[in-house]
Amino acid sequence: MARIAPLSGFPEWLPEGRAVESHILRTVAHVFELHGFVGIETRAVEPLEQLLSKGETSKEVYLLRRLQEDGEQSGSGDKTLGLHFDLTVPLARYVLENAGHLSFPFKRYQIQKVWRGERPQDGRFREFTQADIDVVGSEELPFHFEVELPLVIAEAFAALTGIGLPPVRISVNNRKVAQGFYEGLGLADVDGVLRTIDKLDKIGPDAVVAALQSDNGATEEQARACLALASITGTDASVAERVLALGVRTPRLEEGLDELVRLVETAAARAPGVVVADLRIARGLDYYTGSVYETTLVGHEQLGSICSGGRYDSLASDGSRTYPGVGLSIGVSRLVSRLLGAGLSAPSRAVPTAVLVAVSDEAHRGASDAVAAALRGRDIPTDVAPNAAKFGKQIRHADRRSIPFVWFPGADGAPDQVKDIRTGEQVDADPATWEPPVADRWPAVLPQPS
Amino acid sequence: MARIAPLSGFPEWLPEGRAVESHILRTVAHVFELHGFVGIETRAVEPLEQLLSKGETSKEVYLLRRLQEDGEQSGSGDKTLGLHFDLTVPLARYVLENAGHLSFPFKRYQIQKVWRGERPQDGRFREFTQADIDVVGSEELPFHFEVELPLVIAEAFAALTGIGLPPVRISVNNRKVAQGFYEGLGLADVDGVLRTIDKLDKIGPDAVVAALQSDNGATEEQARACLALASITGTDASVAERVLALGVRTPRLEEGLDELVRLVETAAARAPGVVVADLRIARGLDYYTGSVYETTLVGHEQLGSICSGGRYDSLASDGSRTYPGVGLSIGVSRLVSRLLGAGLSAPSRAVPTAVLVAVSDEAHRGASDAVAAALRGRDIPTDVAPNAAKFGKQIRHADRRSIPFVWFPGADGAPDQVKDIRTGEQVDADPATWEPPVADRWPAVLPQPS
């Protein structure tokens, strides 16, 4: 057997960690469904040409090849396939492939693994789970979805505070604001300026001012104005006033400010304190055209964004028809990694089991199996002791797994008994009617004392 | 944008199909948890040497390579990685890697995609979802788990008859029976005989008798005895009697028959009519050492096995310690493909949404959003009309998605009203108290008329 060691970049959880992840996935899926999003999955692979059509992330793709390609030409009879690196490119392809069978606006959620062909030395995740929501329109997509989607995300995260998730801050901006402002300033290289501003956190304001001049053709005054714009944050109409006070005014800028203010004001009413306009948010991807979003865990800002996205006027197009979209993507593995690594969340027990049925001797295993069947028939997760060891050892088997109850089938007409091994209390019980306390029936994921 | 076409071998479902698949996955996971199995996931990749350690399926592996391997030597600083082709090899590796953190016997379920690097021309699935359960012991694993596991699977399938799944037949055998019988006959090439017998369905009895003689060194009499053994089926102790009547008797054979009879007799009591001893079941994989299982859908036998597995005395070993296991694997994609292809199951609606809140005009969208928030707060899946079209158009929006209720916020102090668009009935309603009928709250997956 080959040497066994974890693979860098491919996170894997013990059962306790997976219980936390499963709880998160079930919770966010439930919130998404409450809002009318349908769940889909797409295949893990896309033709390479599809994966590269957006350009930017091409460096991080894993390509597939069959171990036994025999004498075939590499790729003959088949396109070169790569693993998807996000769920947006597959969604665009899915929408085009199935447009005739979908109803628009198409609201879908999608929870799947994605892969990035990072250098193994870089310590980045090379496999991780994303939970995405997007709304895709046919030809048009009203602005109000750009308000709704971050609020769905806010609700999903709010539903997780009970397991120890810190509060989140969703920082929002609008591409039209930056673009309109730069155009109004007379800067031609809008995308270049955006990319430079995006480095603000990494390289600091002085280096950004210098780069705007050296790389993006800005004068120092223009560069300082871009920096002033990027420093504005807020949760109400004063954001727009402070931007306009910088002295630039274009129709695109005013449209963007109007949208941005509608977003933060609606959010302030519906999810107070969560959504903040932050005009330094640029998001690297060129295809965003309206609202953009980034989400941080309060107190864990250095973790980076755990949920990002935005509006794109052309998610997909088949030549005759264009599909605009708006979406956000939760980085579930990053989130789980932090919850576990910082000891914020843990399940109440490592197994689903609420009751372990003891076995007095192997000849009477059938009696224990019958008790277990009766309890399971009433939706009580139940296991049977793996062997007829001494009862003390069977109780330790339960204790090691934090199974709260051990059941002893009655011998010779005596009634069955069930023992709460946390308190030691042992009472007569009938498998047809006994109920565990509600909180004990299924394991819960709980916040951990800090 | 590249030409869009499905990729052969990579099945993908429309939202309605995914709803059927999700229902199946939730149902089987629930049954597994009721029996105390913990859910885990493993990474999608394993080092190639790990994937090849079992030999047989090596031809079907997809290998990964990073698109930008730059000037690096291929594989330098990193092992060659391949996508897992089942969930058993990853389980063995996971158990060895985490043995110190797991409690044995370790009962786990695992629902994930697997990949087979099949030739695209062959029309086989190259990506599909499996749902596996296994019990892994440390050094020992009592026989009773070989009885328990197919009964868990029987219960999982029984829980799916309500969505239109036909009944299943779980055919079982025991490697010790065949091995003991062949040894007692004086045949040395036990594995070879097993592989030949495994072709019975494909090539027929005459060709099997011929092959046993030409390939496996059997006399015609020995070959006929092997065939007689393979023809035995049954659900009680008469199976053992008929085997022994063939005149061969070895300790291994008798041990195998004893186990096989215990399995079918216990199953006949706990899940009548599902589990049948069928002595032609061989299962190709060399590592099975006790019970083996195959499952067919009654009336759809030509679909092949939808759930297979068995006992292996050495699932994994780290040199000092051996981990025996027993497990079964449901081929979920094959099952879903048949349910959808044969029109057996469908969701009651294509979206989760029970209520669509109408929007009278965009200025009053906030009132509709507030109704939706109130309903969602009481766990009623609700959507808001995407635009303030004429009410007739908004009702058609709901109708196209089979959303049963449309909600009209009251104007100027009038009460809200909700309309059941199936009956046309429209009544006053308060979003703080109104309840949909239980059956309408969430979509159900239903059997379809044949």
| Residue A228, min C-alpha distance to chain B (Å) | 34
Nearest CA in chain A to B5: A97
Cβ–Cβ gap B101/A18 under 8 Å: no
Interface of A with B in 389-428 (CB under 8 A): 397, 400-401
Interface of A with B in 223-262 (CB under 8 A): none
Please tell me the distance from the alpha carbon of residue B422 to that of residue B437, in angstroms, as a whole number. 13
Nearest CA in chain A to B68: A59
| Residue A247, min C-alpha distance to chain B (Å) | 31
| Residue B328, min C-alpha distance to chain A (Å) | 18
Please give the span between the terminal C-alpha atoms of chain B, in angstroms, as a whole number.
Answer: 41
Q: State the DSSP H helix or E strand holding residue A62, giving kind and residue range, or none if neither.
A: strand A62-66
Please tell me the distance from the alpha carbon of residue B94 to that of residue B86, in angstroms, as a whole number. 13
Q: Where are the alpha helices (H) located in B199-308, listed in sequence order?
A: 200-216, 220-230, 238-244, 251-270
Going by pLDDT thresholds of 50, 70 and 90, the confidence category of residue B183 is very high
Cβ–Cβ gap A38/B350 under 8 Å: yes
Residue B413 buriedness (CB in 10 A; 0-12 / 13-18 / 19+): exposed
What pLDDT sits at residue A68?
Answer: 75
Average pLDDT over residues B94-119: 95
Nearest CA in chain B to A46: B7
At B136, list the tokens: 């892994």
Nearest CA in chain A to B98: A14
Residue A47, SS3 per DSSP: strand
Q: Which residues pair with A312 in a beta bridge?
A: A325
Whether B58 and chain A come into contact, CB under 8 Å, resolves to: yes
Cβ–Cβ gap A1/B96 under 8 Å: yes
- To test the contact with chain A by mutation, choose from B12, B143, B445 the residue with the greatest count of A C-beta atoms within 10 A, namely B12
DSSP 8-class letter at B107? E
Domains of chain B: 15-65+75-346 (3.30.930.10), 355-447 (3.40.50.800)
Q: Which residues pair with B113 in a beta bridge?
A: B129
What pLDDT sits at residue B142?
Answer: 98
Cβ–Cβ gap A127/B351 under 8 Å: no
Please tell me the distance from the alpha carbon of residue B34 to that of residue A352, in angstroms, as a whole number. 7
pLDDT greater than 80 at residue B54: no
- CB contacts of B12 in chain A (<8 Å) are 41-43, 94
Average pLDDT over residues B337-359: 96
What pLDDT sits at residue A285?
Answer: 61
pLDDT greater than 50 at residue B403: yes
Peptide bond into A347 cis (omega under 30): no
- Helices (runs of H) and strands (runs of E) counted in chain A: 14, 19
- CB contacts of A317 in chain B (<8 Å) are 1
Residue B98, SS3 per DSSP: helix
Q: How far is CA A59 from CA A10, A55, A115, B285, in A?
A: 18, 9, 12, 39
What pLDDT sits at residue B191?
Answer: 87
pLDDT greater than 60 at residue B417: yes
Please tell me the distance from the alpha carbon of residue B29 to that of residue B24, in angstroms, as a whole number. 8
As a 3-state breakdown, chain B gives helix, strand, coil percent values, each rounded to 5, of: 40, 20, 40
Please tell me the distance from the alpha carbon of residue B288 to that of residue B325, in angstroms, as a whole number. 10
Whether A33 and chain B come into contact, CB under 8 Å, resolves to: yes
Whether A105 and chain B come into contact, CB under 8 Å, resolves to: yes
Please tell me the distance from the alpha carbon of residue A427 to that of residue A386, in angstroms, as a whole number. 23
pLDDT greater than 50 at residue B76: no
What pLDDT sits at residue A78?
Answer: 61
- CB contacts of A64 in chain B (<8 Å) are 62-64, 83, 117
Please tell me the distance from the alpha carbon of residue B409 to that of residue B373, in angstroms, as a whole number. 13
Q: State the DSSP H helix or E strand holding residue B129, giving kind and residue range, or none if neither.
A: strand B127-136
Type of residue numbered A347? P
Interface of A with B in 106-145 (CB under 8 A): 107-108, 113, 115, 117-121, 127, 137, 142, 144-145
For residue A12, give the nearest of B36, B43, B317 by CB distance.
B43
Going by pLDDT thresholds of 50, 70 and 90, the confidence category of residue B49 is confident
- To test the contact with chain B by mutation, choose from A25, A27, A32, A38 the residue with the greatest count of B C-beta atoms within 10 A, namely A38
| Residue A117, min C-alpha distance to chain B (Å) | 5
Going by pLDDT thresholds of 50, 70 and 90, the confidence category of residue B2 is very low
Cβ–Cβ gap B381/A81 under 8 Å: no
Return the closest-CA partner of residue B4 out of A109, A101, A80, A95.
Answer: A95
Cβ–Cβ gap B62/A60 under 8 Å: no
For residue B67, give the nearest of A41, A58, A142 by CB distance.
A58
Whether A76 and chain B come into contact, CB under 8 Å, resolves to: no
More confident residue, B53 or A87: A87
Whether A38 and chain B come into contact, CB under 8 Å, resolves to: yes
Q: How far is CA B23 from CA A115, A380, B71, B192, B196, in A?
A: 26, 20, 47, 41, 39
Average pLDDT over residues B83-105: 96
More confident residue, A66 or B396: B396
What pLDDT sits at residue A85?
Answer: 95
Q: Name the percent of chain B lying above pLDDT 90.
A: 84
Please tell me the distance from the alpha carbon of residue B353 to that of residue B337, in angstroms, as a whole number. 25
Q: Which residue has the tokens 């709010």?
A: A158
Cβ–Cβ gap B103/A400 under 8 Å: yes
Q: Which residue has the tokens 């040409």?
A: A49
Contact of B227 with B208, CB cutoff 8 Å:
yes
For residue B376, give the nearest of A35, A384, A386 by CB distance.
A35
Look at the alpha carbons of A242, A243, A244, A247 in this order and tell me if their dihedral is positive or negative.
positive
At B235, list the tokens: 């659900």
- To test the contact with chain B by mutation, choose from A59, A66, A109 the residue with the greatest count of B C-beta atoms within 10 A, namely A66
DSSP 8-class letter at A162? G
| Residue A26, min C-alpha distance to chain B (Å) | 10
For residue B64, give the nearest of A64, A144, A352 by CB distance.
A64
Whether A207 and chain B come into contact, CB under 8 Å, resolves to: no
ipTM value, please give it.
Answer: 0.95
At B70, list the tokens: 């730059």
Going by pLDDT thresholds of 50, 70 and 90, the confidence category of residue B59 is low
- A 10 A CB-CB count for B200 gives 18
Q: State the DSSP H helix or E strand holding residue A397, giving kind and residue range, or none if neither.
A: helix A391-400
More confident residue, B284 or A233: A233
Going by pLDDT thresholds of 50, 70 and 90, the confidence category of residue B389 is very high
Whether A41 and chain B come into contact, CB under 8 Å, resolves to: yes
| Residue B188, min C-alpha distance to chain A (Å) | 28
| Residue B402, min C-alpha distance to chain A (Å) | 11
Q: How far is CA B283 from CA B172, B200, B297, B302, in A?
A: 10, 12, 18, 17
Please tell me the distance from the alpha carbon of residue A120 to that of residue A227, in angstroms, as a whole number. 36
Whether A365 and chain B come into contact, CB under 8 Å, resolves to: yes
Residue A172, SS3 per DSSP: strand
What pLDDT sits at residue B327?
Answer: 98
At A244, list the tokens: 């306009």
Residue spans of chain A under pLDDT 50: 1-2, 73-76
Residue range B117-128, pLDDT digits in tens: 988 777 789 999
Type of residue numbered A168? V
Please give the full DSSP string across A320-331, using - where no structure is assigned.
S-EEEEEEEEEE
pLDDT greater than 60 at residue B72: no
| Residue A123, min C-alpha distance to chain B (Å) | 13
Q: Where are the alpha helices (H) located in A164-199, listed in sequence order?
A: 175-185, 190-197
What pLDDT sits at residue A3?
Answer: 56
Instruction: Detail the DSSP E strand segments found in B239-348.
Output: 275-278, 291-297, 307-317, 322-331, 345-347
Residue A133, SS3 per DSSP: strand
Please tell me the distance from the alpha carbon of residue A424 to that of residue B27, in angstroms, as a whole number. 34
Look at the alpha carbons of A409, A410, A413, A414 in this order and tell me if their dihedral is positive or negative.
negative
At B49, list the tokens: 């040497």
